[in-house]
Structure 1
Amino acid sequence: MNQKKVSIVGVPMDLGQNRRGVDMGPSAMRYAGVRSRIEKLGHQVEDHGDLHIDFSEKKSSEKKTNLKNLMEVERVNAMLAEKVSHIVEEGSFPLVLGGDHSIAIGTIAGVSKHYENLGVIWIDAHADLNTEDTSPSGNIHGMPLAASLGVGNESLTSLFYPKAKVKPENVVMIGHRDLDQGERELVKAKGIKMYTMHEIDRMGMTKVIEESLTYLKGKTDGIHLSLDLDGLDPTDAPGVGTPVIGGISYREGHLAMEMLAETDLIVSAEFVEVNPILDEKNKTAQVAVALISSLLGDRLL
């Protein structure tokens, strides 16, 4: 992999869901040595620190909606979009550390401003395609992909600039095994490419990534990776808020990252939902850092 300028941004957000602790995810990944691992690969790294989150906003939104903490989630994502956009303008690779998955709204908004046809690879146990009309909980961390597609509450879909940030035909979803009914319907309605764990079991991760890259390569001018650590099996990544058994193995995760690195098509990435309170000796943060390292070119030989 070519040497890059890598800009780390931490977003200690836990307002997009109910369980405390995920706000410590960026610190856990830093403690696991994310910067030194990247620097050892020859990349130039700048850590921009963490965005400020106002945890006093953990209450019902003042806006008339069932979405929890909408105003603060919107504010933080707008700030993140500005930050990520500036990083891209400087020719650096944005690496965003979460925090819950609601932060993907801001990351994708900031990146997509600089690409005509941004592709997105979404690795997750969940689809994150709910809206305020379909969500059983009102938790915004279950909505970021829908919002990025322009579906859902206008405060989220119009964030940073007023249009969809990514086209449904430019999205590939990998590792899914827990979908709500409204999400299933949206996947079918939008024709979104999805490789559930069923496809990974039958085809193998190599074929899934090969097909995903073939599908995206000809029609996108850059690919964003959004990786939720609950996409991995809880035996390998126990420190997540919504674990689902039967997920991607540690080795399958590395294979996927290594194959993505070989293409040099990934222009930005976020790793989210690391919750140290639920973890075992920082195991999940260490896994996240190892996957980040593989994505940025780390190899045994």
Structure 2
Amino acid sequence: MHTPADMTLWQGRVDAEEGPLARRWHDRLQALRHDAPAGIALLGFACDAGVQRNQGRTGAAEGPRTIRKALANLAWHHEGHIYDAGDVTCEGDALEAAQSELGRQVAHLLGEGHLPLVLGGGHEIAYGSFLGLAHHAERQADKPTIGIINLDAHFDLRGGRQGSSGTPFRQIAEACAANGAPFNYLVFGISEPANTEALFHRARELNVTWRGDEDCIREHLEELLDTLTFFADEVDWLYLTVCLDVLPAATAPGVSAPAARGVELMVVEALIDAAKATGKLMLADIAELNPVFDKDGITAKVAARLVWRLAR
């Protein structure tokens, strides 16, 4: 189900004495209208049914609301238009219906010329986001190839009859195969202790490219950026998805599976900047914020900072 934007969330400090340059996100953001000029559209995915199915810590359904509240008071240094496109909500365990609706909403936003930034929610968000981008691609005269860049401690290639937060990229691979499309998937931040050998085997079978968390360090940043750029050169469109559990637990405690090591925020931000710099970014999302387990709102602030960066 899709619900309209709750504009009461967009409140914050007003520095009237500082003049018109002292703007914050709550000053600039508007509810999305059907006739709105092209801009950046925030779309929530209020769901953690996938996390529950994956035997994780639930609470991510409150992620979109919490990210918006953390964003509201951030300083505005951006150009263009920014909108709130409301939320896709998941009723009970109706994950597949929620993912289908998310796909419809993403495709609609893309069709209207917006850049969707989807706020999660568990990483089951990825399958719904991809459905929308793939549907938009089908509408093009020359069907573009899509590349997926995932910043994540996990491959999320699990098997099983039911989809979950652990299966989205396996489901995407199956959808690509069914449509005769290539599955182009690059992951930064893979934790070897957090992924079984079965998952590494599946990643090799699917020709996934990955870099482990031990390699995703600032000393190797040039090589990481080269990997991303080479990957982007081989596709037409990019979909960037950021699972907050790629970050160290001290930076992102409010996730389903906090990372013992993780990838430092500076490296994550550099990879986000590089994806944007390709000029091919069509869609991005932030997954796995779980406010129930957050400490002092740290993870929400990090998530908001990443959205802020994506929107620049």
Shorter-normalised TM-score: what interval?
0.7 to 0.9
Map of 1:18-57 to 2, 5 A cutoff? 18=52, 19-33=57-71, 37=74, 40-55=77-92, 57=93
Moved more, 268-277 or 246-255: 246-255
Equivalent residue number for residue 100 of structure 1:
122
CA separation of 1:261 and 1:37: change in aligned 2, threshold 3 A: farther
CA separation of 1:209 and 1:166: change in aligned 2, threshold 3 A: farther
Is 2:47–2:122's contact at 8 Å kept on the other side of the alignment?
Answer: yes
SS at match of 2:211: strand
Q: Give the root-mean-square deviation of aligned CA atoms.
A: 2.3
CA separation of 1:139 and 1:146: change in aligned 2, threshold 3 A: closer
Is 2:59–2:290's contact at 8 Å kept on the other side of the alignment?
Answer: yes
The partner residue of 2:205 within 189, 198, 212 is 189
Map of 1:145-294 to 2, 5 A cutoff? 145-150=169-174, 157=175, 163=178, 167-168=182-183, 170-177=184-191, 178-201=194-217, 204-217=220-233, 219-294=234-309
Equivalent residue number for residue 5 of structure 2:
none
Deviation string for 1:165-212 (max 9, x for gaps)? Answer: 9633x2111101021232111111122111111322496233212222
Question: Which is greater in Rg?
Answer: 2
The partner residue of 1:127 within 150, 155, 171 is 155
Deviation string for 1:100-159 (max 9, x for gaps)? Answer: 0112111011012233211110111111001107xxxx6710000110111xxxxxx49x
- Unaligned residue ranges in structure 2 (runs of 5+): 1-36, 138-143
CA separation of 1:76 and 1:4: change in aligned 2, threshold 3 A: same
Deviation string for 1:72-109 (max 9, x for gaps)? Answer: 11100000000000111001001110000112111011
Residue 46 of structure 2 is aligned to residue 12 of structure 1: yes
Is 2:244–2:289's contact at 8 Å kept on the other side of the alignment?
Answer: yes
SS at match of 1:10: strand
Residue 163 of structure 1 deviates from its aligned partner by 3.3
Taking the aligned partners of 2:153 and 2:83, their CA distance within structure 1 comes to: 30
Taking the aligned partners of 1:114 and 1:213, their CA distance within structure 2 comes to: 24
Residue 127 of structure 2 is aligned to residue 111 of structure 1: no
Taking the aligned partners of 1:185 and 1:14, their CA distance within structure 2 comes to: 27
Is 2:47–2:121's contact at 8 Å kept on the other side of the alignment?
Answer: yes
List, as ranges, runs of 4+ consecutive aligned residues in structure 1 with deviation greater than 3 Å: 36-40, 162-166
Is 1:173–1:194's contact at 8 Å kept on the other side of the alignment?
Answer: yes
Map of 1:78-93 to 2, 5 A cutoff? 78-93=100-115
Give the counterpart letter for 2:67 in structure 1.
Answer: M
- Unaligned residue ranges in structure 1 (runs of 5+): 58-71, 151-156
Residue 8 of structure 1 deviates from its aligned partner by 1.0
Give the counterpart letter for 1:8 in structure 2.
Answer: L
Taking the aligned partners of 2:74 and 2:114, their CA distance within structure 1 comes to: 17
Residue 274 of structure 1 deviates from its aligned partner by 0.3
CA separation of 1:39 and 1:149: change in aligned 2, threshold 3 A: farther
Equivalent residue number for residue 153 of structure 1:
none
Number of matched pairs: 264
Taking the aligned partners of 1:221 and 1:172, their CA distance within structure 2 comes to: 15
Taking the aligned partners of 1:290 and 1:43, their CA distance within structure 2 comes to: 18
Taking structure 1 as the reference length, what is the TM-score of the superposition? 0.81
Taking the aligned partners of 1:295 and 1:210, their CA distance within structure 2 comes to: 20
CA separation of 1:37 and 1:119: change in aligned 2, threshold 3 A: farther
Is 1:109–1:165's contact at 8 Å kept on the other side of the alignment?
Answer: no
Equivalent residue number for residue 64 of structure 1:
none
Is 2:48–2:121's contact at 8 Å kept on the other side of the alignment?
Answer: yes
Deviation string for 1:240-266 (max 9, x for gaps)? Answer: 011121111122122222222323221
Taking the aligned partners of 2:219 and 2:159, their CA distance within structure 1 comes to: 31
